[in-house]
Amino acid sequence: MTAESIKKSFIDIFQTEPVLVKSPGRINIIGEHTDYNGGLVMPAAIDKGVYVAISKRNDQEIHLYAESFQSTCISSVAAIKKTELSWANYILGVANEFVQRGHQLSGFNLYIYGNVPLGAGLSSSAAVECATALALQYINGLSVSKMELAWLSQKAEHTFAGVNCGIMDQFAAVFGKKDHAMMLDCRSMEYEYIPLKLEGYKFVLLNTNVKHSLSDSAYNERREQCNKGVSWIKSHHPEVHYLRDADLAMLEEHVKPKDENVYLKCKYVVNEIERVKKAAQALKNGDLKELGALMFQTHEGLSKDYEVSCKELDFLVNQVKGLAYVLGARMMGGGFGGCTINVVKEQEIDALVDKLSSLYLNEFGLKLDAYIVETGIGAEVI
Ligand code: ADP
Ligand code: MG
């Protein structure tokens, strides 16, 4: 759908002119499972996004319509509650966060459409939240900083969607910049724009179309293992609050003798944080080969040490290893399914996707989906 057709659909339903807001999905180039360890991540906003068309109402009611679900939801700013409709919760959760923070909201009509694939790990959920947050801020004339929009969107995902996510996705949706990645420090929330010069290459996402049930329990277990490592180090080095503050020597001395498995998990995190710094330097040097090599290393670490990969993700990464026109590849996101992110020479993309699709179908009996993404800008009023 185009911006015009979204406006038209809104008018058909609500008989009034809307304001249109767009917020992007995101990729994470490198820096996986580092956010909750106070570490570094390197997301970039993409050209696919979620559009919200919105208008104020004269009453307190909230009327929502989701194009992707052909579904309606009605609520009220005076009594916002979670609903059975999961898509609506992302929107109501954001409205609720404004109210919780003491902002006055009028009732509103909201129409939502998006072309970020749902549940693929490109963070369509943060796109919904951040588009809603910017839309509500705009029509109510509220003074809320960009960082606050990201925080309240994240909080909405915790409270109304029940997903205990970090801040990266919402940060990327709000602060994204065309042709740039962002290196975000999850300990200080400082960030730096890193120019992405992909000359002749593109990011290609390959969706395994699986989500293994281990995903949530393993996530919680990894967080505990990281915390354990930190607590063992902390008794000797009180300045260490996160794995971000630790180094390999500390892990060797205080974690390895206690628990080899916890040691491997912590080692992955400490190495990954270093890789993000190296990746930023590689991009500044225009060295895409080095970036790609780091991505392969990340996958190796996630698969062998951190143990959050799965056979489908490993298969896709192994298939592209050694191909001269694929500079790098790794699983992206929490693990146990979702997408791999690949840096592929433009002219080779179609043939590669064709070849991998049939190999993947043969091996797992599953369809492979591919998304070729460009970088995009952060949430904006159109
Ligand atoms: P991801 O963020 O990786 O895409 P999530 O499971 O976190 O996956 O979020 C997906 C959910 O977000 C969808 O199931 C839906 O509830 C909501 N959502 C995403 N895009 C849209 C959309 N265009 N319209 C309505 N709801 C959407
Ligand atoms: Mg999500």
CATH number where 226 lies: 3.30.70.890
Domain shared by 139 and 258, yes or no:
no
Domain shared by 337 and 249, yes or no:
yes
Q: 355 CA to middle of ligand 2, Å?
A: 29
Domain shared by 135 and 206, yes or no:
no
Residue 115, number of CB atoms within 10 A of its CB:
15
Q: 334 CA to middle of ligand 2, Å?
A: 11
For a mutational test of ligand 1's pocket, the pick from 21, 124, 170, i.e. the residue with the most ligand atoms closer than 8 A to its C-beta, is 124
Domain shared by 114 and 207, yes or no:
no
Ligand 1 atom closest to the CA of 112, numbered from 1: 24
Question: What whole-number distance in Å separates Cα of residue 45 and Cα of residue 43?
Answer: 7
> Given this model, what pLDDT does residue 106 score?
98
- Asked whether 303 lines ligand 1 (CB < 6 A), one says no
Q: Is 170 among the domain residues?
A: yes
- Asked whether 118 lines ligand 1 (CB < 6 A), one says yes
Q: Which amino acid, 164?
A: N
Domain shared by 187 and 208, yes or no:
no
- Asked whether 122 lines ligand 1 (CB < 6 A), one says yes
Q: Is 80 among the domain residues?
A: yes
> Given this model, what pLDDT does residue 165 score?
87
- Asked whether 283 lines ligand 1 (CB < 6 A), one says no
Q: Which of 203, 174, 249, 229 is nearest to 345 (CA)?
A: 203
Choice among 35, 169, 245, 305 that is catalytic: 169
> Given this model, what pLDDT does residue 213 score?
84
| Catalytic (active site) residue 169 | yes
The domain in which residue 113 lies consists of 3-196
Q: 120 CA to middle of ligand 1, Å?
A: 9
Q: Is 382 among the domain residues?
A: no
- Which CATH number covers residue 171? 3.30.230.10
Domain shared by 182 and 209, yes or no:
no
Long-range interactions of 265-269: CB distance < 8 A, separation 24+: 265/222, 265/225, 265/226, 265/229, 265/305, 265/306, 265/307, 266/225, 266/226, 266/229, 267/305, 268/33, 268/301, 268/302, 268/305, 268/306, 269/33, 269/34, 269/37, 269/39, 269/226, 269/243, 269/306
Q: 249 CA to middle of ligand 2, Å?
A: 35
Taking the model in full, what pTM does it have?
0.96
Count of structural domains within the chain: 2
Domain shared by 261 and 166, yes or no:
no
- Asked whether 132 lines ligand 1 (CB < 6 A), one says no
Q: Is 367 among the domain residues?
A: yes
> Given this model, what pLDDT does residue 163 score?
87
Domain shared by 95 and 208, yes or no:
no
Q: Is 381 among the domain residues?
A: no
> What would the pLDDT profile of 234-247 be if each residue is shown by its tens digit?
999 999 999 999 99
Query: Which of these three, 163, 196, 229, is where a domain ends?
Result: 196
Flag residues of the chain having pLDDT under 70: none
Domain shared by 187 and 235, yes or no:
no
Domain shared by 143 and 217, yes or no:
no
Q: Is 351 among the domain residues?
A: yes
